[in-house]
Structure 1
Amino acid sequence: MKLNSDIKIVGEHVVLVPYREIHVEKYHSWMSTEELQILTASEPLSLEEEYEMQKSWREDADKCTFIILDKAKFDKDGDEISAMIGDTNIFIKGSDASTGEIEIMIAEKTARGKRLGWEAVILMLLYGIKEIKLQHFEAKILMKNSISIEMFQKLGFEETSTSDVFKEVTLGKVVSKEWTEFLHKQYFYQIQPH
């Protein structure tokens, strides 16, 4: 998505930056692991296919993706690659483009369990509300990924459907003023040039 191609979102513990070519090799190495393929319901891609996917994320108007950086590491050396810990995405859906399907992946095991994913999702939700003007969010999560399901439920998402075929649950949340204020109270949020 061109909307987010030249900005970064700075939080307290994470920084979200647009997914660029420089990130592809590390991202590809993450997605080459069976664990992340299962958790994200993804098929393995060649490195060449991953570069093509990155271009589509940058150009397609219905896709918004950011790479999640560990802010402490990034502030220390300014190296986005070494600070990469995961990604977060929004797929824009619906005839009126008011629904966003949100995804989060913390790929680096050392970054898990530190609430960095929680913060990254909140920043992404706020970006979706403020900049993309989304009115509704969905999260499709594998039924066995109880950590992600619980996180979205703590954020106010409620189960809307399940699919035994895909072994996933869909959670949804309608945007409201009160919920937006709740998200704002969680973390510092600032958009800066990138």
Structure 2
Amino acid sequence: MYINKDTIIIGKNIVLVPYREEHVLKYHEWMKSDELQKLTASEPLTLEEEYEMQKSWLRDENKLTFIILEKEKYLATNNEVEPMVGDTNLFFATPEDRIFAEAEIMIAEEGARGKKMGWEAMLHMFLYGITKLGVKNYIVKISYDNQISQKMFINMGFTEESRSEVFREITFYKIVDDLWVQFLQQSLQPFEIKDSSF
């Protein structure tokens, strides 16, 4: 989304940066994985298609994407490619109505899994959506097979809403309230938003 093209979110162990052209090659390598294609319900793209997708996502008023960086590696290398571990997204029905958002998270690097980076990145994305975009309701759709993600969102306060046998996925929802915002703020120290590189 154009609105976050210059936005960086800095957390304790992760940094969220906009999905840019320099990230595409590594992202493309990730998405060759049968496992990730299955977990994200994605189809493989050519590298050229992946570059086009990145450009379209940048202009898309209904989608917001951040690449997740491992903060320690980012500070050590001062580049955004080597520390890449995954991505997180918000989808909106229309650019005018951002009250309702569908969220996604992917930790692609196997070595980064089990380190709570997905947890931290997702909470940052939720708080960003609430404070900067006015999101009031979140949903996530998770495949039947992805029990790790199901457990993570339940632990974040999400409740099961429905199941689709056709798509073999569960929809969870969370209504934003003051108590949940307080939980996000207390969980995310630090939570810093910058509009340029640091």
Q: CA RMSD in A?
A: 1.0
* Equivalent-residue separation in structure 2 for 1:161 and 1:80 (angstroms): 38
Q: Which residue does the alignment assign to 2:37?
A: 37
Task: Give matches, 1:35-184, under 5 Å.
Answer: 35-93=35-93, 96-184=97-185
* Residue 97 of structure 1: how far off its partner (Å): 3.0
Question: One-letter code of the match for 1:174?
Answer: I
Listed one character per residue, the Cα deviations across residues 53-77 of structure 1 (whole Å, up to 9, x for unaligned) are 1111110111000000000000111
* Equivalent-residue separation in structure 1 for 2:49 and 2:11 (angstroms): 31
Question: One-letter code of the match for 1:11?
Answer: G
Q: How many residues align?
A: 194
* Equivalent-residue separation in structure 2 for 1:11 and 1:177 (angstroms): 21
Q: Which runs of 5+ in 2 are unaligned?
A: none
Give the alignment partner of residue 192 of structure 2, picking from 176, 186, 190. 190
List, as ranges, runs of 4+ consecutive aligned residues in structure 1 with deviation greater than 2 Å: 93-97
* Residue 5 of structure 1: how far off its partner (Å): 0.3
Matched, 1:23 2:43: no
* Equivalent-residue separation in structure 1 for 2:37 and 2:19 (angstroms): 19
Q: Sequence identity, in percent?
A: 51
Listed one character per residue, the Cα deviations across residues 95-153 of structure 1 (whole Å, up to 9, x for unaligned) are 73311100000000000000010000000000110111111000001011000010000
Question: One-letter code of the match for 1:41?
Answer: A
For the residue of structure 2 that corresponds to 1:82, the secondary structure is coil
Q: Which residue does the alignment assign to 2:7?
A: 7
